[in-house]
Structure 1
Amino acid sequence: MKILIVEDQRRLGLFLKQALTERAYTVTWVGTCAEAREALCETGYDVIVLDLGLPDGDGLDLLREWRSGGFNEPVLILSARDAVQDRVTGLDVGADDYLSKPFSVEELLARMRSLLRRQSSVKETVLQHQGIKLDLLSRTVHLNSKPIDVTSREFALLEIFMQNPGRILTRTLISEKIWESHYDVDTNLLDVYMSRLRAKLEGPLGKQVFKTVRGVGYQLL
């Protein structure tokens, strides 16, 4: 499981990273909004632990930005702001849980496990978007109720976009998910698969399905 910790206090950040790493989590620790944006653009995370008082911005604004941009990763706010209204605001903005400082590491771990269980239990088996229907169990794709043939690689590629509609996915993130390794950003292999997928979807639909974001990646419209 991959965890992103956004915490500007060095001592606490290192402590959390060590505590979670010892429990077999893969942990990335960053200390600013800018670093958090970059980390989340590069790859996905199973849970994000977010502090609110960051040196280059407010964590709540960062969370609003993520949610409006289509990021649906579970977020646990970890903050010294412990008033009831602070917790209500954090949850209303889009947090999945809220834990006040000071805190118990065991409680933090328990809440993270709860978020992970909740995330896995509600995972949809059928994804639908703009006339496209992708069934994760039968591994089939339908376009306006008509079946279309896709390869296993094309299915995996489409699944990533269907799970993140409207979100700009970087070439690195897509390559990690599809090939389980970092591919050179200059390779045209991803472009070849995107071209094939576009031909199978955009032609029958008669409209653009994917947007190319030059120098970054692709977006499912």
Structure 2
Amino acid sequence: MKILVVEDQDRLGRFLLQGLSECAYTVSWVRTCTAASDSLVETHYDVIVLDLGLPDGDGLDLLKRWRQSGFKEPVLILSARDGVQDRVKGLDLGADDYLPKPFSLEELLARVRSLVRRQSTVKQVVLEHAGIKLDLLSHTVQVNGAPVDLTSREYALLEVFMQNQGRILPRTLISEKIWASHFDVDTNLLDVYMSRLRSKLETQGKPIFKTVRGVGYQLM
């Protein structure tokens, strides 16, 4: 399980890094809003532990942008702001849990385990979006009820997008998930597969994928 800790206080950051690592979690620790957003683009995390008072912005504003951009990772807020209205605002903006400071490591770990369990129980077997239905068990795809024949690579590519609906995915991230190493992939190969996928899925003339120049692609 991968956990991203966003905390600018050195002592607390090291405490969280050590405590979570000792429980066999893979932990990344960053100190700013910018570094946190960069980390989310580069890697999928199972849980994000987010402080609100960060040196380059407010954690609540960061959380709001994440949710608007399509990031669905569970977020546990850690904050000295322990008023009822602060907790309500954090949860309304998309946080999954809120733990006021100071806190015990035991309670933090229990809440992290709860978020991980919750995520594992809500994983879908069938993913649906814009008339596309992808069955993870049978490895079949339908568009508006009609079966679509995809190669294994095309299916894997579509699955990446269906698991990240609405999220802008960088080319490097897509390539790393589809090929063993994106360094071995010709720069045009991803474009070729995207073209094939579009021709098979965009049968009604309505665009499904958006090309974000200089970045990657997005399933709209």
- TM-score band, normalised by shorter chain: over 0.9
How far did residue 186 of structure 1 move? 6.3
Aligned to 1:165: 165
Secondary structure at 1:77's aligned position in 2? strand
1:80-99 equivalences under 5 Å are 80-99=80-99
How far did residue 170 of structure 1 move? 1.0
Q: Deviations over 1:170-207 (max 9, x none)?
A: 122222322354436863332222122112112x2212
Contact 2:179/2:185 (8 A) holds in 1: no
1:113-192 equivalences under 5 Å are 113-183=113-183, 187-192=187-192
Question: 2:26, 2:54 → 1: CA distance?
Answer: 23
Secondary structure at 2:183's aligned position in 1? coil
Question: 1:55, 1:75 → 2: CA distance?
Answer: 19
- Cα RMSD for the two superposed structures: 1.5
**Residues 185 and 12 of structure 1, relative CA distance in 2, 3 Å threshold:** farther
TM-score (norm 1): 0.94
Contact 1:172/1:185 (8 A) holds in 2: no
Q: Deviations over 1:133-177 (max 9, x none)?
A: 111111110011000111222112111211222210112222232
Secondary structure at 1:205's aligned position in 2? coil
How far did residue 216 of structure 1 move? 0.9
Q: Deviations over 1:4-40 (max 9, x none)?
A: 1110101111221122122221111111111111111
Contact 2:127/2:134 (8 A) holds in 1: yes
Aligned to 1:218: 217
Q: Deviations over 1:42-93 (max 9, x none)?
A: 1211100000001111100000101111110000001111112211111111
Question: 2:186, 2:4 → 1: CA distance?
Answer: 28
Secondary structure at 1:24's aligned position in 2? coil
TM-score (norm 2): 0.94
Question: 2:47, 2:180 → 1: CA distance?
Answer: 20
Aligned to 1:74: 74
Contact 2:175/2:185 (8 A) holds in 1: no
Contact 2:46/2:74 (8 A) holds in 1: yes
Aligned to 2:49: 49
Aligned pairs, how many? 220
**Residues 180 and 99 of structure 1, relative CA distance in 2, 3 Å threshold:** farther
Question: 1:186, 1:35 → 2: CA distance?
Answer: 29
Unmatched runs of 5 consecutive residues or more in structure 2: none
Contact 1:77/1:99 (8 A) holds in 2: yes
